[in-house]
Structure 1
Amino acid sequence: MANSGQRLKQVSLFFLISALLLLPWADLAVYQVEPGTELGRMLNGLLHPDLSQWRTLLSATGITLAFAFIGVAAAAILGLPLALLFQWRAIRVACAFFRAIHELFWALIFMQVFGLSALTGLLAITLPYACTFAKVYAEILGGVDDHNSVPKGTDKISHWCYSKIPSAWSALVAYTRYRFECALRSSAILGFIGLPTLGFYLETSFSQGQYDEATTILLLFFALIASLKLWLYARLVPLYLLAAFWLLPDTATVHGSYLWQFFSQDIWPKAVQAGDWSAAFSWYGKQLQEIALPAVGNTLLLTQLSLAVTCLLMIAFSWLGSQQFGCRPSQVCGHGVLLVMRSTPEMILAFIFLLIFGPSMLPAILALALHNGALISYLGSRIADNVKLRLDAPRGLNRYGYEVLPRLYPQLLTFLLYRWEVIMRESAILGILGITTLGFYIDSAFEDIRFDRAALLIIVSALLNITIDSLSRRARAYAGLRELRMG
């Protein structure tokens, strides 16, 4: 029977070899005639940011923060009671399904009913985040050993309110802060469907070739993420929430009948509405064969290639910013590089690379690998700081390759397997940019007012994510990797 080291090697080789076998089917061509010219224009814009639209960007920043604050607050309020009921299979299944659907897909759904309103953005963040909070809060609270701190016969609600929640409060707050940073990225990319967040103005600037304005927006977003520790204090959150409600854009009045009509009629094919089940099965079979299966194939292809490149990047760069390597200035620079890459949403990175290389899988692979590779490398560098070395340990690359990386790799692989499902979700949504993954066909279905097709493909996307999440758990268990709580 293979030991834990051999199993780690087997899992790692499986992902790398599978990616190599998939390479012949990947479209990695560069379609831009002169990608260097476009890159040069972007670098010129980076050196000369345009601050003339600062009032507009300030308003967009406020809306971005408002969506994030209210969305996370509402999700946490909903997620905590769901965590109390998480032992029920129905709750677990429902939460797994709803959190498997990307925020942008939820936004596309709610936009058909509420239009480009504040309610669309808030629901798009709140619904999947609440289900994520339910899962992680349940894991945190389930890990609290407090059986001797409450009298026998105490009811479950009192037990949780007076013992478990106070005992786990610091962990609950820490995870909620992490999800707020994620919500800032989600809020920003809601601009790609027209909501007035920073992503809307960023996409507009890049599309028009105004890279000086785009640079300003990116720098503003990086500053927002980097400065969280300076202004995100628990005692100020109530004030931030009050300000967030004031900053929200207007929401049009929508009658409840519209929502009922959308979910009871619009998302079902005509054959189902007419009760013609034979025609309905024929329609669903045709959609699955002609659209869903090719889209799933491209989504899986993009996911596995991105996962393999992410693995290579996390191995190569988990020393950046670590106190074990280099001097203080180099550590600060390394930390800054990782901060920029992990703070930039994959959608924005992919959009930039599309402008440079043209419409292929290459921009999406680069975007997914750089973002996730930087995130895992950042976590790895923090763990590397705590590695105890011998007094005669080698220096430089030898120290990293022979001393630190072997001890670090199990944690890195754990993080990578946790990000597998996230990469799958992002691979699907990047189709909105024109890459033929599930998101491409879902966005096209909404544009063609084919809500029945869009609903079917969104369900396929959710089931695919649930499957990958299950495979990730099995791979971690097989390799003997400990469980972590990541989003």
Structure 2
Amino acid sequence: MKIAIDQSTSSMSVRLPDPPQVPQLPLAPRWRFSTVALLCGLLGLVAASFLSLSLMWSAFFTQEALRTTGEFLHGFAPPDISVPFLRKIALGTAETLSMSALGTVLAAFAGVALGLVASGRFGTIARAGTRTLLNVLRSIPELVWASILLIAAGLGPFAGTMALAAHTSGVLGRLFADAYENTSPLPESTLRTNGVRALPAFLYTTLPQTLPQMMSYTLYRWENNIRAAAILGVVGAGGLGQMLKYHLSLFQMHQAASVIVAMLVMVAAVDGISFILRRAMTR
């Protein structure tokens, strides 16, 4: 607010502030034909999926189905919380965590090496071949990898660990390669121009720029591997999944309920820890 004084009349006038100017918003971009065609194609695929599948919604919500489901879920209560069985669950939980952690660490090291080649640092041919390998590794699910490796390594957590490492190597290798390519090449090229060799220039410039993003990717994949490791036991790869399959096959529902609760608690705890670590890394 501005105050003006008129000396001739010795009067004081008050000048109100100018009203704030409302910024003009930019015009919304027009819809392109390719965007509309893509949306129509996706809607068509969803409609074709519903038409091609014989979904029996009426049978799913019948009273008989609800009664059978309620009886099945009632068989899980109460969970077995005896001390000997809780010790078995603790060992299974530790085995599942070890499988996921070791598989993720192995995949992270492999992803760093394969990502360098896949980012085009060693030529176009090496880049295309490595990206094809990464596509193959991540296209095969963990359960399929575990089924293949169980034939070679036998039952146990070793096959599950290698299955997680194989699939996650393909995922992290692709993400790391994209992170290398999206990093500004100016700092590394400056060191190379001044006579620094390729490896020290990469370690001092490109790697520190991409390391927080790479760590965030690795922690997120560790969360996924926790869930995958709990499922791999269904095919005999050890951990809580193998315990769950064993007790369900014998219709020991109380013990199976305890294993399911342990899985939920483990996944929730790991998700919380990983979220805190990812926020610390990205900051």
Q: How high is the TM-score relative to the length of structure 2?
A: 0.74
Is 1:415 aligned to 2:217, yes or no? yes
Runs of 4+ aligned residues of structure 1 deviating over 6 Å after TM superposition are none
Pairing partner for 2:63 from 234, 237, 256: 256
**Identity percentage of aligned residues:** 21
- Residue 249 of structure 1 deviates from its aligned partner by 5.2
Relative distance call for 1:314 and 1:294 in structure 2 (3 A) is same
- Hey, what does 2:48 align to over in structure 1? 243
**Matches of 2:56 and 2:239, distance apart in 1:** 31
The residue type equivalent to 2:255 in the other structure is R
Pairing partner for 1:321 from 118, 124, 127: 118
- Hey, what does 1:266 align to over in structure 2? 72
Is 1:330 aligned to 2:126, yes or no? yes
Pairing partner for 1:430 from 232, 241, 249: 232
- Residue 357 of structure 1 deviates from its aligned partner by 2.1
The residue type equivalent to 1:481 in the other structure is M
**Matches of 1:284 and 1:376, distance apart in 2:** 39
**Matches of 2:69 and 2:258, distance apart in 1:** 14
- Hey, what does 2:159 align to over in structure 1? 363
**Matches of 2:90 and 2:228, distance apart in 1:** 18
**Matches of 2:250 and 2:224, distance apart in 1:** 28
Q: Aligned pairs, how many?
A: 243
**Matches of 2:273 and 2:85, distance apart in 1:** 23
Relative distance call for 1:306 and 1:355 in structure 2 (3 A) is same
**Matches of 2:39 and 2:251, distance apart in 1:** 44
- Residue 398 of structure 1 deviates from its aligned partner by 5.1
Is 1:470 aligned to 2:267, yes or no? no
Q: Which is greater in Rg?
A: 2
Q: How high is the TM-score relative to the length of structure 1?
A: 0.45
Is 1:454 aligned to 2:261, yes or no? no
- Residue 467 of structure 1 deviates from its aligned partner by 0.2
Relative distance call for 1:422 and 1:403 in structure 2 (3 A) is same
CA offsets 1:451-476 (integer angstroms, 9 cap, x no match): 34333322221111010011112223
- Residue 326 of structure 1 deviates from its aligned partner by 2.0
**Matches of 2:68 and 2:124, distance apart in 1:** 61
**Matches of 2:141 and 2:278, distance apart in 1:** 26
**Given that residues 155 and 238 in structure 2 are in contact (C-alpha distance below 8 angstroms), is that contact kept between their aligned partners in structure 1?**
no
RMSD of the alignment, in Å? 3.0
Is 1:348 aligned to 2:155, yes or no? no
- Residue 301 of structure 1 deviates from its aligned partner by 1.9
- Residue 448 of structure 1 deviates from its aligned partner by 2.4
Structure 2 unpaired stretches of 5+: 1-21, 30-36
Q: How does 1:210-229 map to 2 (within 5 A)?
A: none
Structure 1 unpaired stretches of 5+: 1-147, 150-165, 168-231, 273-279
- Hey, what does 1:481 align to over in structure 2? 281
The residue type equivalent to 1:448 in the other structure is L
